Structure 1
Amino acid sequence: MRHSVTTTHGPLADTAGSRHRRSGLRVAESLAAGICALACAAAVHASDAVQAMPARDFLQTLAVVTHVSYTDGAYVNVHNVADDMAWLGIHHVRDYAPGSSIPFASYVYLAQRGVKFNFLMGADFEKQIGQAVKLNTEVPGSVAAIEGPNELNNFPVSYQGLTGAAAGLAVQRDLYARVHGTPELKGVPVYDATGFEPRSVETRTNSADYANQHVYPQNGEQPLWNANGDRWMLAAIHLGQRFQLPLVITEFGYFSLPQAGWYMLGVDERTQAKGVLNGYMDAAAAGVKRLYVYELLDEKPDPARNNDEMHYGLFRNDNSPKPVAYAIRNLTSILNASTTRRANAATRSTLAYTLSAMPASANSLLLQKKDGRFVLVLWNETLIWNRATGTPLAGPPARVDIDFGDKARRVDLYDPLASAQPLESHRDLRQLTVDVPDHVILLEITPANTPGT
């Protein structure tokens, strides 16, 4: 997250730091075999019963970065921010703690509209914690997390005579103690700082409740699987494992400014939608607590189309939704839609399905809606961007055979990039062959014995 709206660099702004981070991600490739056991667990081709993740829990992993404190761009209209969040069906945001640049009432308004904040803090955290306490008191439950300093490698801090990473880690330690010693913030977790070298510290005990990373897939690549060996999300997953902490990813995204060449490339709007939805699913399948997409709105107009930073939004600067916003809305609408269940009707939470012919680049995640129906999510992370020409790629889908373990009363197929309505509907079948594209599709499964009306 940028400290100034006038910043013109991307999220990995410091070139040396960016190269260093990219090399760190490459180091993680040697851990791919072990880590993929976590990240790709849902893709195991077996007929053993798979425990479904409640759809309501999955929806709580979806989050987005906002810049409510910016007063000279799209975020100045706080009503649009609230309306956009409600339209998307997302509640969690990451932002700076309230300051003097915008009325405190704006944060209260957003909180009253259901927005839950992860507040980013720096060396002056004492004053910022006071503002967080004030908001959480006025709208209980509106502060979901407190986060330490942002990207210390790009934005160093000074603290108690210390500089560099040492200062940032000291801030994080004292911030952790301060939050957990504040009754008004009881139960609010502390996310770790970002941008320090993990190998320089042995433990995050008494410093963080969650490991924290930023993940920006580069070269227009997929978030987790790429045939050339780049697996951008694996380093984040490994960090949580290293410190034996649950993980959050507080920045992730693609900017929608098509480019050719090499490194930190923008993509077109449809490719942005594919990457973001796949990233949300990759994170949830890997057990990531929450993934914050950077960011809600394109901050300022960029008529010359030469400022990468102004194109990360889910919504354009005029507040019109990009394809990624429509896709997220379709996804949350599908998962929230439910039928009426009979009172006290028991519903099983596992499904013994089998996937055959799933390629290594494909993944799956089983969800369950509150009405008992299952949603099997499938996506195939084949190449989506031609970095030589700066144009999208669309490879052939993978033909996957599914055995639902028993006869399904109904199976509806959805493509969130296209619609919130089913593209296909099937009845009374046990097996189905589907084409899994380079982005998320959903199979809503009503088992034959599912209670219903």
Structure 2
Amino acid sequence: MRELVQWDDDPARLRALAEAAGVKLNLFIGADTTLASQIEKIEGLADLVSAVEGPNEVRWWGVRHEGLTGAAAARELQRDLYQAVKASPLLHDKPVIQLSTGEADYYAELGDLTTWADYANPHTYFPSGAPAPGSDAWGGLPHVLHRVVEAQQITQGKPAIATEAGYSSAPLHPQGVSPEVQAKYNQRLLLESWETAGVKRTFLYELFDQGPDPSGSSYELNFGQFFADGRPKPAAEALHNLTTLLRDDGPAAATFTPVALDYRLLGLPETGEDMLLQRSDGAYLLVLWNDAQSWDDAANRMSDVPAVPVTIDLSRTFGTVRVYDTLVGTTAAKTYTGIEDFTVLVPDHAIVIELSGTAVPEAGRTPAAITLGDGGDELVLRVTQDAWQGDAQYTIAVNGVQIGGTLTAAALRGSGVSDSVTVRGDWGPGAHEATITFLNDRWGGTPDTDRNLYVEGISYNAAVVEGGEFGLWSNGKVSTGFMSGPAREPAVITLGDGGDALVLRVTQDAWQGDAQYTIAVNGVQIGGTLTAAALRGSGVSDSVTVRGHWGPGAHEATITFLNDRWGGTPDTDRNLYVEGVSYNTAVVEGGEFALWSNGRVSISTAQAGIDLL
């Protein structure tokens, strides 16, 4: 829940509301009371706070701070907010969201504020009731993604949280739609923000209508998901249905690793969209919608958008398939059993297709259980295949030495089972490499006439090996690394020479490879491409010392992340983190930041004893 902290004179009321509703708080500051008093209120709610946000839509609401006004005041207030949050013993671990502008042209006046926020902050509203992304695009990008790119102008290399978004259910206003279309568009906005634009969290504006509007002509009064008297609007019902169907309360919901599912959609229109999710109980949730124009602006009425028949061709047979219409409820509209392909009608709002149950293996196929080598260490691979005109054959090597002979796969991909291949050895502490070589590929020109080999997962001494899921679609080899013994040692690196020393503490999320980056001072790169070693959360960090003769005054250090990778979940993500920066032993303010995508972050530093600019 998002709330303006300066207007809340009773934090106890806000605490009671949040605890009763079971929600966390995103608190944003205002510019009409002192920052110190607002930080004090936020600290009193620290256990309920998920994030702290800068001032709202500063182009329209204005900012006054420390004798400044306009863009200069907004910059200084965002900086002071970030420093106050990170210095607070109660709030230092809370992310800070960038201020919002309310006007794209204002970004240029604000300049680069990357150092003073952990997240960019787009406000995604749509002119004339256009859907997201639908018919309106800017710079070749869908509108929702365009707004994210705009916001990242002042928050470079940072992910986005959209703290306002939505549609007004005022059908007689030029930018409004009907309550029924608001329900469709809000659903699609949330799905598009996550799937297309990578927005980590989106806040719908707002919970309740601001007041009754019998005429349906007031834009500002009708953004709520509930009417002003507390009755749910169609938007609230549709959102409840969608989140209920996508909810995962399983004990492993936050830790399990999703498994890919191959599927084809035949007949999906150009405006059609799809998103695949998996629950921790193994069931898949396929969300489909048609991102068509559902509102006729000229006639001020809902458009007639016929549902489109789409055939879903799955790669395996599921025991139970249920189809849900999120505008109708959370009871399945259709249920199928033991099917691999079927046809559904895709409307201009979300439908959810739940795929669950044990798949039916091909008759006579028993998965293989193979053990190779001997020793105290154990590498276990789960293997499947596409067995067109014969079974896939392969070999396994560790550290360049083949273990055993030629192996033949048995289990079919999509059957719900896999071969278990255990490779034993005594490999000792440190990094090792397993290589799987596919020997007898065959292809008849179509996806159904193809022989392939798949490694569905690898574990080493019972620990999951990152990057252990891959397919081999032609003859060749894939190698994956694994660690034996204690965690890797942090790197100690020195670059350049001179009397001044800039020291960075660096960590990473090393999914499918280590993070790589460069460092430049005053626009000049020092050294070559660096590779992170220490893992975030391991208690250690790489120490990178950059030396030079930079002289008195302020200087700029730029860290550029080069090889981001993301597999769709927090556990399948490669990121780079700077845990702290010092210059000639003095701590550099703003020297803690993360790079979640390729790009650069620049920080301003000065000689020890000189204030940070």
Decide which moves more: 395-404 or 283-292.
Answer: 395-404
Shift of 1:358: 2.8
1:252 aligns with 2:165: yes
Please say which of residues 110-119 and 414-423 is displaced more in the overlay.
110-119
Counterpart residue number, 2:49: 143
Secondary structure of the structure 1 residue equivalent to 2:61: coil
d(CA) in 2 for partners of 1:417, 1:236: 28
Aligned counterparts of 1:177 and 1:100: Cα–Cα separation in 2:
22
Distance 1:339 1:236 in 2: 34
> Given that residues 409 and 428 in structure 1 are in contact (C-alpha distance below 8 angstroms), is that contact kept between their aligned partners in structure 2?
yes
Which stretches of structure 1, 4 residues or longer, exceed 6 Å deviation after superposition?
A: 227-230, 337-341
Q: Which moved more, 1:158-167 or 1:197-206?
A: 197-206
Separation in structure 1 between the aligned mates of residue 35 and residue 265 of structure 2, nearest angstrom: 49
TM (norm. structure 1) is 0.71
- Is the CA contact (8 Å cut-off) linking 2:306 and 2:347 kept in structure 1? yes
Which of 385, 402, 419 is equivalent to 2:295? 385
Which amino acid counterpart does residue 146 of structure 1 have in structure 2? V
Q: Deviation per CA, 1:295-315, whole angstroms, max 9, x where unpaired? A: 001122334544322111111
Q: Which residue of 2 aligns with 1:64?
A: none
| Whole-angstrom CA distance in 2 between matches of 1:394 and 1:443 | 24
Quick one: distance in 1 between partners of 2:94 and 2:136?
Answer: 40
Separation in structure 2 between the aligned mates of residue 99 and residue 269 of structure 1, nearest angstrom? 29
Equivalent position amino acid for 1:439 in 2: H
- Alpha-carbon separation, structure 1, partners of 2:191 and 2:135: 16
2:172 and 2:341 mapped to 1: Cα distance? 42
Q: Is the 8 A contact 1:190 1:208 kept in 2?
A: yes
Aligned-pair CA distance for 1:284 = 1.3
User: Aligned residue for 2:541?
Assistant: none
Quote the Cα distance in structure 2 between the aligned partners of 1:253 and 1:288. Answer: 14
Task: Show the counterpart of 1:112.
Answer: 19
> Displacement of 1:435 after TM fit?
2.0
- The offset of 1:215, in angstroms, is 1.0
**Unpaired stretches in structure 2, ≥5 consecutive residues:** 360-415, 418-613
The higher relative CO (CA closer than 8 Å, separation ≥ 6) is in: 1
Structure-1 residue corresponding to 2:30? 122
**Aligned partners of 1:254 and 1:312 also within 8 Å:** yes
> Does the Cα contact within 8 Å between 1:271 and 1:385 map onto a contact in 2?
yes
Q: Distance in 1 between matches of 2:137 and 2:53?
A: 34
Residue of structure 2 in register with 1:316 after alignment: 227
Corresponding residue of 1:203: 112
Distance 2:250 2:19 in 1: 28
Partner of 1:224: 133
Q: Find the counterpart in structure 2 of residue 189 from structure 1.
A: 95
What letter matches 2:117 in structure 1?
Answer: A
Amino acid across the alignment from 1:144: S
Question: CA 1:201–1:317 in structure 2 vs 1: closer, same or farther (change >3 Å)?
Answer: closer
Contact 1:297 1:317 (8 Å CA) reproduced: yes
Residue segments in structure 1 that go unaligned for 5+ positions in a row = 1-92
CA RMSD of aligned residues (A): 2.4
Residue type at the aligned position of 1:121: I
Q: Deviations over 1:116-166 (max 9, x none)?
A: 111110333221111010112xxx2x1011111111111111122321112
The answer to whether the aligner puts 1:335 opposite 2:242 as a matched pair is no
Q: Indicate conservation of the 8 Å contact 1:220/1:384, yes or no.
A: no
Which structure shows the higher strand fraction?
Answer: 2
Q: Which amino acid aligns with 2:198?
A: G
1:188 counterpart SS class: coil
In structure 2, what is the equivalent of residue 74 of structure 1?
Answer: none
Structure 1 residue 379 displacement after superposition: 1.2
* Counterpart code for 1:115: V
| Aligned CA distance change for structure 1 residues 168 and 330 (closer, same or farther; 3 Å) | same
Checking the alignment, whether the CA contact within 8 Å between 2:258 and 2:278 is kept in structure 1 is no
Matched AA of 2:171:
P
Q: Evaluate the alpha carbon distance shift between residue 163 and residue 228 of structure 1 in structure 2; reply closer, same or farther with a 3 A threshold.
A: closer
Matches within 5 A, 1:28-43: none
The match for 1:237 is 148
Query: Residues 238 and 99 (structure 1 numbering): CA distance in 2 closer, same or farther, change over 3 Å?
Result: closer
TM-score, normalised to structure 2, is: 0.53
**Which runs of structure 2 are paired with 1:5-404 in the superposition (5 Å)?**
93-97=1-5, 99=7, 101=9, 103-113=10-20, 114-123=22-31, 124-136=34-46, 140=47, 142-195=48-101, 197-200=106-109, 203-226=112-135, 231-239=142-150, 242=153, 243-259=156-172, 262=174, 265-285=175-195, 286-336=197-247, 349-404=259-314
Residues 1:422 and 1:340: Cα distance change in structure 2 (over 3 Å): farther
Deviations 1:63-88 (CA, angstroms, capped at 9, x unpaired): xxxxxxxxxxxxxxxxxxxxxxxxxx
How many residues matched?
A: 347
- Secondary structure, aligned partner of 2:128: coil
Question: Does the residue aligned with 1:270 lie in a helix, a strand or coil?
Answer: helix
Determine the C-alpha separation between the residues in 1 that align with 2:152 and 2:216: 40
Post-superposition offset of 1:97: 1.3
In 2, the alpha carbon distance for the partners of 1:187 and 1:150 equals 22
SS at match of 2:30: coil
Change (3 A) 1:164 1:340: closer
The one-character-per-residue Cα deviations of 1:375-430 (angstroms, maximum 9, x if unpaired) are 01111111111111100013223332222211111111111111111111111111
Going from structure 1 to structure 2, the CA distance change for 1:227 and 1:125 (only over 3 Å counts) comes to closer
Task: Specify the structure having the higher radius of gyration (Cα).
Answer: 2
